Amino acid sequence: MSRSTNRPSSPEHSGEDAGRDLYDELTDDLLYDPAIGRATMMGYPCVRLAGVFLASYDERNGLVVKLPGERVAELIRSGNGEPFAPAGRTFREWVAIPVPDRELWTELLREAVDFARGSL
């Protein structure tokens, strides 16, 4: 069901639905690791590694991943990412990737898993 009567309900007409579909597909691929599971973060779907949040998805920001601060800055400088600032507070180790891009999202999810493993 569409959240708004002004939005098309079919995925082929909505970038938001296409982004969510891609997020679900790519994060499904991570679930081979028993330490990785689904949860919610700030009301949005996310994946965690042994309880450590590593990625989320929301309609406004697209894919949101936790990475080292230097990598976040690099993605923002390159134009591939945007600062993640819910409620106006920027999270230094989180970056939003609003445009669905299978290759980039796959790479960043792998990086997020590696970063989460390093924090355990």
* Each residue's pLDDT tens digit, 12-59: 434 458 999 999 999 999 999 999 999 999 899 999 999 999 999 999
What are the two backbone dihedrals, phi and then psi, of residue 55, each rounded to the nearest 5 degrees?
-160, 155
* Each residue's pLDDT tens digit, 51-96: 999 999 999 999 999 999 999 999 999 999 999 998 899 999 999 9
For residue 66, being part of any structural domain is answered with: yes
The model's confidence at residue 3, banded by pLDDT at 50, 70 and 90, is very low
For residue 18, being part of any structural domain is answered with: yes
Predicted TM-score of the model (pTM): 0.84
Domain range for 60: 11-118
For residue 31, being part of any structural domain is answered with: yes
Report the domain count for the chain.
1
Q: What is d(CA 51, CA 90) in angstroms, rounded to the nearest whole number?
A: 22
CATH number assigned to the domain comprising residue 33: 3.90.1150
For residue 4, being part of any structural domain is answered with: no
For residue 5, being part of any structural domain is answered with: no
For residue 6, being part of any structural domain is answered with: no
For residue 109, being part of any structural domain is answered with: yes
